[in-house]
Chains A and B, each alone.
Chain A
Amino acid sequence: MSIKHIARTSYRALWVNKSRSFLTVLGVLIGIASIIMMMSIGKGAENLILGEIGGLGAETVVVRPGQEPTGPTDVAETLLGDSLKDRDVDLLRKKSNVPDVIEVSPFVIVPGSVSYGGDTYRPMVIGGAADFFIDSFDAYPEEGVLFDESDTRQKANVAVIGSKVKEELFGDKSPIGESIRIKNQSFKVVGSLAPRGQVAFFDIDDLVIVPHTTAMTYILGIDYYHEIILTAKSADMVEYVIEDVTRTLREAHGITDPDKDDFFAVSQQGLADQIQIIIGSLTAFLSSVVAIALVVGGVGVMNIMLVSITERTREIGLRKAVGATKKNIMNQFLFEAVLLTSIGGVIGIILGGTLAFLISLVLAQTVAPAWTFTFPISAVFLGLGVTSLVGLVFGLYPAKKAAEKDPIEALRYE
């Protein structure tokens, strides 16, 4: 029996019961659509974050409090740690400790909103060195100046604002010399930046930079940093810088067991690897949860195949009488099950891809302008492979049952 005739027979059998076939395969379809969607969005998130990290530059080393994250829950810890203090920054700045570094810049993140007159806006507020950020992000002041080290030393209430912040609070008016409020503190705007867009997690246009000393003392009331960014002399030296930083801080914090580190230093590459691991494991976890839907869908397929075989008992008897072997019958029903689930797989892949595309559009319009739609080709092969496998596995038992039917009993079946 040629594949062509198996295919035609299967197609006809499925087409006769169009709605039943569709409902049967819905479980498989939804399962595959969800997996495809998850993989696509996971990949999109990964690309987005990797792109952002890439914006930091290959010479950058980031030091954060807490343990190096290996899973999603560890990330929260690094935001709450209080182990990086002034003394650490001073030690890292010493050439004798970390020789291959050009710049050491600590910063803190200030939650909350900014207001001017009656207007309130929620930009990203960070406490750090204005010139460091501006250099790192390749931005420049459009109006006014940047605050400098003496402002930082004096804990001056000065701020540099991004172009979007300026537009939201001041409109066409010049912001220079005006006072804005962050929490309960008043800050004088000394400079506003030209539009720059998103670089390395920071939407420069949506940024307000104040001296970290002022932020820590008057706004946050803390004596530790959220992050220290170091710039190595060259990308090749990043590894040495990480070694030196780790050694210096372990000494300073009196840590002998590396497992008890209360900080971690990573390069851009290290950060990228971490993110990939976290997103990859998240995607895999979610996909495996969704895979349960495939099993449920497969059981549905098996159920309907059994019904179909009972309905077609006489047909099976007749086919055997005119010369169909067990193998012929088995192949026919197995093919039918695989065809059914594969059709579900194809529709599922298209549906999942479409949904992921729409979600990408929404994300790009709202929270993540740099988001791009990614459709992993591997997901297509995986989807088709998995659906065919579901058809094979769950079609095997019904097909075997069909093949085992006794022709005489089958022909007599009412």
Chain B
Amino acid sequence: MSKLIKATNLKRVYGSGEVETVALKDASLEIEKGEFVSIMGPSGSGKSTLLHILGMLDRQTEGTYEFDGKTIDEYDETQLANLRNESLGFVFQTFNLLPRTTVLENVQLPLIYSDVKESEWSDMAVKAIKAVNLEHRLEHETGQLSGGERQRVAIARALVNDPDVIFADEPTGNLDTKAGIDLMSIITDLNKEGKTIVIVTHEEEIAAYSRRMIKLRDGLIEEDKKISK
């Protein structure tokens, strides 16, 4: 398997002088294509910061980040936006769907910022929606859906551009146990089909779905182990 992510000595400092806070002290990791990685740790351990840097929503203060063989440290905001659009998918704890908008349109959202021809959008979106078993909800507005369904729409949205990796930040945090289990089985299936998944969670049961677990504490990687199944 080839390396998708290679992060070396990542450090992230917020503020400066008296109010300086070190969110991430020194983290190095490599993720290969097809992996299913969970990042765990108590709050304040730097796991969200790490995810944001890997997801190109934030930049490290020190260290280098190579994505798919390219060093992206010098990319400007527009280049990063385009890279996110083409290669990354995001799932957030709070779903972040557009209100008063149909499932189909929500899933199409990344495509309107892409170079993909408009004639292909609908097919691509429907395919992604089928992957999360919501094809019967295509024209429903997101407000009419349950929490579990909404998060599945969010996964479909993350899938629609066929990304290299999906980043999920506490995806089950706002779901009940049953919906959480359903969601994790969908994510597991996606991984089985070859998608690279990086998931941040503080729940052991959720991390147990993954095949590699990285534990963070105080901005440092405390443990990085394979989970045998």
Cross-chain contact B92 with A411 (CB below 8 angstroms): yes
Once bound together, how far apart are the Cα atoms of A317 and B96, in whole Å? 9
The residue from A16, A315, A328, A408 contacting B113, defined by CB atoms under 8 A apart: A328
Once bound together, how far apart are the Cα atoms of A365 and B98, in whole Å? 56
Cross-chain contact A319 with B109 (CB below 8 angstroms): yes
Cross-chain contact A408 with B90 (CB below 8 angstroms): no
| B171 close to chain A: CB less than 8 A | no
Contacts of A5 in B (CB 8 A): 112
Cross-chain contact B100 with A322 (CB below 8 angstroms): no
Cross-chain contact B96 with A320 (CB below 8 angstroms): no
Contacts of B100 in A (CB 8 A): 12, 16
| B25 close to chain A: CB less than 8 A | no
Contacts of B112 in A (CB 8 A): 1-2, 5
| A277 close to chain B: CB less than 8 A | no
Once bound together, how far apart are the Cα atoms of A190 and B217, in whole Å? 117
Say which size band chain B's interface belongs to. Answer: 20 to 34
Known: A314-B96, A317-B96, A411-B96. A322 touches B52 (CB 8 A): no
Over the window 24-36 of chain A, the binary record of Cβ atoms lying under 8 Å from chain B Cβ atoms (1 yes, 0 no) is 0000000000000
Cross-chain contact A321 with B109 (CB below 8 angstroms): no
| B85 close to chain A: CB less than 8 A | yes
Which residues 98-112 of B sit at the A interface, judged by CB distance below 8 A? 98, 100-101, 109-110, 112
Once bound together, how far apart are the Cα atoms of A268 and B85, in whole Å? 71
Cross-chain contact A322 with B92 (CB below 8 angstroms): no
Say which size band chain A's interface belongs to. Answer: 20 to 34
Q: Which residue of B lies closest to A6 (CB)?
A: B112
Over the window 206-228 of chain B, the binary record of Cβ atoms lying under 8 Å from chain A Cβ atoms (1 yes, 0 no) is 00000000000000000000000
| B86 close to chain A: CB less than 8 A | yes
Q: Which residue of A lies closest to B79 (CB)?
A: A325
> In the complex, which of the residues B52, B94, B101, B112 has the most CB atoms of chain A within 10 Å of its own CB atom?
B112
Once bound together, how far apart are the Cα atoms of A5 and B77, in whole Å? 22
Contacts of A181 in B (CB 8 A): none
Once bound together, how far apart are the Cα atoms of A9 and B211, in whole Å? 41
| A247 close to chain B: CB less than 8 A | no
Cross-chain contact A408 with B85 (CB below 8 angstroms): no
Contacts of B118 in A (CB 8 A): 2
Contacts of A324 in B (CB 8 A): 81, 113
Q: Which residue of A lies closest to B108 (CB)?
A: A5
Cross-chain contact A325 with B58 (CB below 8 angstroms): no
The residue from A16, A315, A322, A327 contacting B85, defined by CB atoms under 8 A apart: A322
List B residues at the A interface (Cβ < 8 Å): 52, 55, 57-58, 77-78, 81-82, 84-86, 90, 92, 94, 96, 98, 100-101, 109-110, 112-114, 118, 157, 161
14 A-B interface contacts by CB (under 8 A)? A1-B112, A5-B112, A314-B94, A315-B96, A315-B98, A318-B92, A323-B161, A325-B77, A325-B78, A325-B81, A326-B81, A328-B81, A408-B57, A411-B96
